[in-house]
Amino acid sequence: MYRFFVDSRQISEKEIIILGDDVNHIKNVLRMEKGECLVICNGQGEDYYCIIDSVENDRVIALIQEKTISETELKTKIYLFQGMPKKDKMELIIQKSVELGVQEIIPVITQRTIIKLEPKKEIKKIERWNAISLSAAKQAKRGIIPKVSNTMSFNEALTFASKELDAVLIPYEKANNISVTKSIIESMKVNSVGIFIGPEGGFEEEEIEKAIKYGAQPISLGKRILRTETAGLTLLSILMYNFEED
C-alpha cells in the first residue's frame, strides 16, 4: 500500500488533505482514484489507513478508516554523526541509514574532512539530503522522516551528544577486540545512542581522546578496515538487530 507523509495540520478528525507534489504523484503517476486505499503518516509515528474520497487539481482528500501507531520505529533512537565524505557518498549513507532505522543524521566536520560547504551550498545540500530521507522513509515504511541536520563541528557534535543522548559509540581501529564490543552493545539498555563515524582517513587520535573525555566508548567493527560509507551502515545494522523487537 502506498505511503505518504503530511503535516499534522492537514489531519482532521475524519479526513486528511494531501497537498503539494504528492497530489501530482497520486493523480498522474500512480493514477489513483476515488475508493483506493493508502497509508498517510504524520511523521510522528502515527499511521492513518485511508480511502481516497476525491482527487482534485491541487489536493487529494482521504477519509480516515483506522489510526495506528507505526510498528517500524525502534524504541531506542539512533543518531548518526557522519564525518563528511567526498563526492556523493553522503546520499548513499542517508538513504541506507533511513532504511536501517536512524532517527537523525548529523553531518560533522572533522580534522580530516576534505569537503567544505559554503553557506549557500550547504542550504541546497541539506534540502536535497532531506528529500532523499523522505523518499527512503516512504520506501521503508517508516513512521517518521529522519532529519538531516545542518553541519556541526566535531566539538559541537560531541557537546550535543554528551548532553542529549544516553550513550555514544565511536568505531576505532585501535579499540579493544570484538568481544568487548559485543558485550557493550548487548548490554545497552538506553533510550538514545549516538554513533560517530569518521570521514575518509578516519579520526585523528586526538579526536578519539577528546571523544572519550566526553563519554564516548571506542568500539571495534572487526579486523577489516571499512570505508566511511560502510562503517556507519555496519554499526547501524548491528544496533538495529540488537534493538529490534517483535
Last residue of a domain, one of 33, 51, 69: 69
Number of domains in the chain: 2
Flag residues of the chain having pLDDT under 50. none
Last residue of a domain, one of 40, 69, 98: 69
* pLDDT score of 128: 95
DSSP letter for each residue of 31-95: ---TT-EEEEE-SBSEEEEEEEEEE-SS-EEEEEEEEEE-SSS-SSEEEEEEEPPSTTHHHHHHH
* pLDDT score of 175: 81
Domain that includes residue 128, residue range: 77-243
* pLDDT score of 39: 95
Last residue of a domain, one of 22, 37, 69: 69
Residues 57, 178: one domain?
no
* pLDDT score of 74: 94
Residues 15, 126: one domain?
no
Residues 194, 101: one domain?
yes
Residues 38, 124: one domain?
no
Residues 117, 224: one domain?
yes
Residues 113, 155: one domain?
yes
* pLDDT score of 173: 85
Residue 38's CB: how many other CB atoms inside 10 A?
Answer: 21
* pLDDT score of 245: 84
* pLDDT score of 98: 97
Residues 10, 102: one domain?
no
* pLDDT score of 67: 95
Residues 37, 97: one domain?
no
Q: What is the CATH number of the domain that holds 145?
A: 3.40.1280.10
Residues 115, 193: one domain?
yes
Residues 165, 235: one domain?
yes
Which three cell numbers, joined as nine digits, stand for 12?
482532521
SS3 content of the chain, % helix, strand, coil (to 5): 35, 25, 35
Residues 202, 87: one domain?
yes
Q: What is the CATH number of the domain that holds 62?
A: 2.40.240.20
Residue 166: helix, strand or coil by DSSP?
Answer: coil
Whether pTM > 0.85 for this model: the answer is: yes
Of 15, 14, 32, the closest CA to residue 23 belongs to 32
* pLDDT score of 1: 86
* pLDDT score of 117: 79
Contacts 24+ apart (CB under 8 A), 64-68: 64/11, 64/13, 64/14, 64/15, 64/16, 65/37
Residues 93, 130: one domain?
yes
